[in-house]
Amino acid sequence: MDQNTRFLTETVLRISGVDPRKCMKCGKCSGTCPNYDAMEYHPHQFVSMVENGLIEQLMNSNAVYLCLGCMACVERCPRHVAPGKLVGALAQLKLRKQDGNHKGGNDIAAMADEKVPQQLLMAAMRKYRK
């Protein structure tokens, strides 16, 4: 693992509180993930790829923004690995890079129709930009 990969890996494990070594690779997280089909990488892959030094590959994927944050995989993981926390933390790491915003405030406003609740606008602001 080079220095940058090691730094990113350590950071994401620290801020997510996830320990990939606890995973027993049962696949239950991916089995329960409601957005499995849309995501390039699936919850169990997030766990194993971070462990195997492939964090940059995950960070370059749009999959982090397709996670619904529903916590189904967090609740149902029999080993309390909670892959969804890792996905969420990776999205945050992406946003923290220079010019790392996924969407700007104007982009978010442009996506909203007149029925969108404030809650959704706020959530997008939190999830897509720093």
Partner 1 sequence: MIYSYYPGCTLKDRARQLDLYARASAAALGLELKELTQWQCCGAVYPAASDDIASRLSAVRALMNTEEKKLVTMCSACHHVLKRTNFDWKQDATFRTRATNYLQPEVPYDGSVEVVHFLELLRDEIGFDELKKKVVNPLTGRKIGAFYGCLLLRPSKVLSFDDPENPTIMENFIRALGAEPVSYPYRNECCGAYVAMEDQKSAQTQVERALNSAVAAGCEELITACPLCMYNLVENATVHRLPVKYFTELLAEALGVKEA
- Report helix angle 43-51 to 83-96, nearest 10: 70
Least distance in angstroms from the C-beta of 23 to partner 1: 18
| Contacted by 44, from partner 1, ligand SF4, none: CB < 5 to 8 Å by type | ligand SF4
Buried b (16+ CB within 10 A) or exposed e, 83-106: bbbbbbbbbbbbbeeeeeebbeee
CA-based radius of gyration for the chain: 15
Least distance in angstroms from the C-beta of 34 to partner 1: 5
Note the residues at the interface with partner 1 (CB under 8 A): 14-17, 34-35, 37-38, 65-72, 74-75, 85, 88-89, 91-92, 103, 108, 111-113, 115-120, 122-124, 126-128
